[in-house]
């Protein structure tokens, strides 16, 4: 049973590849390495003790995709490939629409031509925009505040339309909350390009001495300590959610939209404290004005995932910080030292 994992060399894709292989699936990783290193795949191979079929290609290039489907019998696709930097998407919207939307259109066309109609798509809690209340369940209204978020919304709608046109498709839209952490080996993890935008990679780089201090974007939100609250989810729990979705996808013909979150909200300062404990390092910080586009509080109602996938996140904030720290400490420059 071959599973095509687009973007499989990236942060979430590499962790998911491990769990898929451990569950006995044959995985084909397809990636253009625009935001990943081949080293991640080498390390995944080491962890699972098996070789991985790796195809270098771009989802915007139909020929690249055709080659994959013509040389492999693909049962389902897990579609991670995409660009994800919110700020960059504001500066270069067309790059995001082209890569994320045109790429997904190509992929779905090639899948249709090869009669593979089973896809799990990486959506995001960003599609909830500024939620009126929390926890957020899947029926909440959606909106977007930047081109990245809009690309996720458009793709969700596009996949729903695809199903309406052809009900033999099986489609799962997974809305991730805030993925953090790393594989427990400390050999693979998140390797941001340049200065990290996301909180946990920035904290980790501060703890390891690469950054002087963390800028806390606002402490005047309506939250217990005034800083932003998010639903941080361990990447291995998230990866497990994909394996569960793959088990489920054969049993239905419809579009399923599912939150992958823990249901718990932690503030920026909670995360700083937890990371200091895990790393036994000081994480200096300064309170700064709010960051444009940020919301106060965002956390999932994870009940539907539990009901439909029999999945729930298990790992604690402590484990998220300890595993991030192991990865950061062992690889202060990410994969770059091995490229």
**Partner whose binding site includes residue 309, from ligand WQD, ligand NAD, none (CB under 5 to 8 Å by kind):** none
Number of residues that bind ligand WQD (CB under 6 A): 18
Contact 40, 339 (CB under 8 A): no
Q: One of 11, 25, 128, 148 is an active-site residue; which one?
A: 148
Q: Is 217 in the site for ligand WQD (CB under 6 A)?
A: yes
**Of the two residues 126 and 267, which places its CB atom closer to ligand NAD in the complex?**
126
Phi-psi bin for 209: left (phi > 0), alpha (psi -120 to 50), beta? left
Annotation marks residue 11 as catalytic: no
Contact 267, 228 (CB under 8 A): yes
- Closest to 126 measured CA to CA, from 161, 178, 173: 178
**Partner whose binding site includes residue 58, from ligand WQD, ligand NAD, none (CB under 5 to 8 Å by kind):** ligand NAD
Which residues make beta-bridge pairs with 255?
171
Q: Is 85 helix (H, G, I), strand (E, B) or coil?
A: coil
**Partner whose binding site includes residue 317, from ligand NAD, ligand WQD, none (CB under 5 to 8 Å by kind):** none
**Partner whose binding site includes residue 7, from ligand NAD, ligand WQD, none (CB under 5 to 8 Å by kind):** ligand NAD
Q: Which helix (H) or strand (E) holds 38?
A: helix 38-48
Q: Is 86 in the site for ligand WQD (CB under 6 A)?
A: yes
Binding-site member from 42, 72, 160, 215 for ligand WQD (CB under 6 A): 215
Sheet containing strand 170-176, edge to edge, reads: 53-56, 26-31, 2-6, 74-79, 118-124, 170-176, 255-260
Binding-site member from 3, 4, 12, 27 for ligand NAD (CB under 6 A): 12
Phi, psi (degrees; rounded to nearest 5) at 117: -130, 45
Closest residue to ligand WQD, judged by C-beta, is: 228
Which residues make beta-bridge pairs with 119?
77, 171
Q: Is 7 in the site for ligand NAD (CB under 6 A)?
A: yes
Q: How far is the CB of 78 from ligand NAD (least distance, A)?
A: 10
Parallel/antiparallel/unpaired status of strands 297-298 and 229-230? parallel
**Partner whose binding site includes residue 60, from ligand WQD, ligand NAD, none (CB under 5 to 8 Å by kind):** ligand NAD
Q: Is 103 in the site for ligand NAD (CB under 6 A)?
A: yes
Q: Say how far apart CA 20 and CA 6 lie, in whole Å.
A: 13
Q: Is 35 in the site for ligand NAD (CB under 6 A)?
A: yes
What residues act catalytically? 148
């Amino acid at each position: 049973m071959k599973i095509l994992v687009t973007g499989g060399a990236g942060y979430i894709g590499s962790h998911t590849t491990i769990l898929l292989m451990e569950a006995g699936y044959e995985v084909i990783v397809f990636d253009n390495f625009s935001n990943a290193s081949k080293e991640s795949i080498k390390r995944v191979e080491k962890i699972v003790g098996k070789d991985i079929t790796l195809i270098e290609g771009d989802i915007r290039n139909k020929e690249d995709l055709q080659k994959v489907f013509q040389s492999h019998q693909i049962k389902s696709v897990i579609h991670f490939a995409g660009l994800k930097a919110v700020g960059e998407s504001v500066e270069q919207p067309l790059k995001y629409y082209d890569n994320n939307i045109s790429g997904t259109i190509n992929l779905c066309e090639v899948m249709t031509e090869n009669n593979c109609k089973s896809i799990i798509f990486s959506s995001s809690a960003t599609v909830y925009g500024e939620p009126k209340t929390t926890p957020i369940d899947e029926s909440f209204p959606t909106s977007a505040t930047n081109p990245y978020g809009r690309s996720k919304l458009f793709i969700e709608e596009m996949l729903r339309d695809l199903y309406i046109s052809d009900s033999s498709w099986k489609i799962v839209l997974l809305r991730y909350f805030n993925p953090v952490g790393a594989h427990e080996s400390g050999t693979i993890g998140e390797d941001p390009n340049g200065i990290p935008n996301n909180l946990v990679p920035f904290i980790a780089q501060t703890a390891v001495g690469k950054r002087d201090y963390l800028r806390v974007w606002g402490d005047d939100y309506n939250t217990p300590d005034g800083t932003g609250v998010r639903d941080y989810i361990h990447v291995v729990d998230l990866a497990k959610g994909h394996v569960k979705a793959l088990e489920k996808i054969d049993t239905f013909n419809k579009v399923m939209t599912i939150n992958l979150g823990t249901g718990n909200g932690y503030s920026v300062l909670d995360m700083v404290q937890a990371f200091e404990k895990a790393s036994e390092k000081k994480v200096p910080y300064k309170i700064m004005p709010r960051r444009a586009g940020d919301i106060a509080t965002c956390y999932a109602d994870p009940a539907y995932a539990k009901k439909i996938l029999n999945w729930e996140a298990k790992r604690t904030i402590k484990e998220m910080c300890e595993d991030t720290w192991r990865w950061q400490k062992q690889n202060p420059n990410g994969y770059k030292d091995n490229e």
